[in-house]
Chain A
Amino acid sequence: MGEKILMKGNEALAEGAVRAGCRFFSGYPITPQNEVPEYMSWRLPEVGGTFIQAESEVAAINMIYGAAATGIRCMTSSSSPGISLKQEGISYCAGADLPFFFANVVRGGPGLGNIAASQGDYYQSVRGGGHGDYRTIVLAPNSVDEMGNFPKKCYELAEKYRMPAMILADGILGQMMEPVEFKFETVDPKSLKEKGWELGVDNGRGKRIVRSYDLREGELEKINLRRMEKYQEIEAREVLYETRNCQDADLVIVAYGTSSRIVSAAMKMARDKGFKAGLFRPITLWPFPSQALSQMAKKVRNFLVVEMSMGQFVQDVRLAINGQAVVDLYARPAGIPASEEVFAEIEKVYKEIKTAGPVKKAAATPQLRSVQAPAPKTKPAAKKQVKKRKVKVSKKAVKTKPAKPPKARPVKRSTPNVKRTKAAKKKGGRK
């Protein structure tokens, strides 16, 4: 602790996982995440762990399925096409309520795409990714330092809620070098508590089964509803985000990961020109900081989303803002924007604010730029139906007493990167 080490993002990720207690890695080489298995191949044996270069992504994730079922802290990593292959296994782990940690160092897609950075796997990451009704906790770092420190957070969340947790990085974060300071005590796996469900030696406790199916009529739905309560709890407690210059902002730029760094530079240029621009950076992409954004939209009338994907991330921002403000989009599918380009977008928005006023619609240019119209009033009948459903679910959720949603509070850069909500601090272990 306290020591700064110059590392590649991928290496920091691997070292962070080992320090967080990871003792099992299985993976398959794919660019741009190859430093992770390479690092693990010598680092894990050093601490008495296991590294396996699997014959395929499919085998790798199923080794994780087996390892996670024994309660060990395990990990796999890959890049876009490889993560697609792993999705079935991830779905099985979600179905069997097994915690594990994995990282996607995203490259361009679809298909083989290219090996440059991209954010094109956003939908796949935050909507579950594999088959079935499930979610994955997704953390999006924007520095090598966070690449090194987030694995521990992922293990803690994964184990607390018994589900997969992932880091969504990209080729730039994986390949670039920066100082990293591991801000946590190294975890000794022996110090971790027994989980009570892990497979292994019986010792008279009786048989345990890990499976992701239930063929009894109606049972699977009950299980999925219980899982949804858990997801609601996570959405209420575990949201992480960072805001900068938002207090006086009349334009808030929303971006995550690498894009948020480019936006930071563009924001600086804007501030120098006298534009009151701020940055909102979600750190957890699921759970998404919807409440905070929605709160912010009550004061701020213009938002600009910058993403390195074809308008995937903007969907969640628009859902959160729900027509309360204008949401512009600057999208670069498999392209990396320069801060000057983002600044030009900021200027454009300001021109529109000046001429059309912030509440009116901005001219929509197809594909890369569009505007969210105010939400139409829902028909009373449809509203009723939605309400009824909500009550049904929340009735059960009452049992778990979800904490109040986090307040939209600006987080200064100087504070620790991982900002936990008030409620999360109050509440300890998993129920």
Chain B
Amino acid sequence: MELLNKKPQSLVDMKMHYCPGCGHGIVHRLVAECMDELGIRERTVGVAPVGCAVFADSYFNCDMIQGPHGRGPAIATGIKRSKPECIVFSYQGDGDLASIGMGETVHSAARSENITIIFINNAIYGMTGGQMAPTTLVGQKATTCPSGRNPKVNGFPIKICELLAPLEGAVYLERTSVYNAPNVIKTKKAVKQAFQNQIDGKGFSLVEVLSMCPTNWGMTPLESAKFVAEKMLPVYPLGIFRSPEKEGGAN
């Protein structure tokens, strides 16, 4: 029998703790496949966040560091500027990147740090048990907005790609999703591009991935995928917001 597919070398062969239907496992695999295909595993250093992906430091088969909530881009900056030969990525959730770590996100983009950020947007705080995130949709229920997010009380969702796009230092910004197979393939392409930009020394790249959280949304995995397609996509349109080639890009 011919072996057609196997676990990427850039992932450690171990069981992940993620909930059924969660997007983290998919994105982990995509990132690892990209590292394999680009041949950068040996020189890659990853930054794991606080939150559901905290154990990413165990799962990726490369040097890893786990940092305080929101500080991934600052830590990645410290690593990259100390060892420019390394490929450095920061893996972050929406509470991490768009709330407590907003300063680090904006300023690392403004400085055009030559790093890659994988940003998982599932519109909720996962690890802490389903509280409102800066990306929670208007009307979406969370434990800290039990009757749904009310803009008058809780403000509006933050669209990171749109927010960073005017910054001259943001070289590559793309929003993708992993709710179905075609979009998983597109996400992989985006992640690969984000790493390639770093290899080429082009500067700050961020891929925002719309992902599912069946546990905290209180849905089945299938319903979650449907929620992304029907509710999240209209608020968070997919596409490239900034690229090195596209007009308005930094380089």
Contact = CB atoms under 8 A, between A and B. Distances in A.
A325 B85 CA distance: 60
A66 B63 CA distance: 12
Contacts of B12: 207
Given A50-B81, A67-B81, A199-B79, A210 B103 contact: no
Interface stretch (A54-62, A278-286, A366-374): A54-62
Contact of B71 (A24, A65, A204): A65
B82 A24 contact: yes
Contacts of B65: 65-66, 69, 96, 199, 209-211
Given A54-B74, A67-B81, A209-B64, A202 B43 contact: yes
B133 interface: no
B83 A200 contact: yes
A88 B75 CA distance: 13
Contacts, number: 133
Interface in B54-95: 54, 57-58, 61-68, 71, 74-83, 85-86
B104 A59 contact: yes
Nearest to B43: A201
A70 B77 contact: no
A62 B74 contact: yes
B41 interface: yes
B42 interface: yes
Given A62-B104, A72-B82, A211 B66 contact: yes
A314 interface: no
A63 B76 CA distance: 7
B7 to A, nearest CB: 15
A70 B71 contact: no
Nearest to A210: B65
A69 B79 contact: yes
Contacts of B63: 199-200, 202, 207-209
Given A55-B104, A208-B63, A202 B42 contact: yes
Interface string A184-226: 0000000000000001111110011111110000000000000
A52 interface: yes
B82 A89 contact: no
A103 B144 CA distance: 40
A20 interface: no
A402 B180 CA distance: 61
Interface in A37-90: 50, 52, 54-56, 58-60, 62-70, 72, 74, 88-89
A62 B68 contact: yes
Contacts of A421: none
A290 interface: no
B70 to A, nearest CB: 8
A97 B95 CA distance: 27
A66 B79 contact: yes
B31 to A, nearest CB: 15
Nearest to B84: A50
Interface of B: 12, 41-43, 45, 47-48, 54, 57-58, 61-68, 71, 74-83, 85-86, 103-104, 106-107, 111
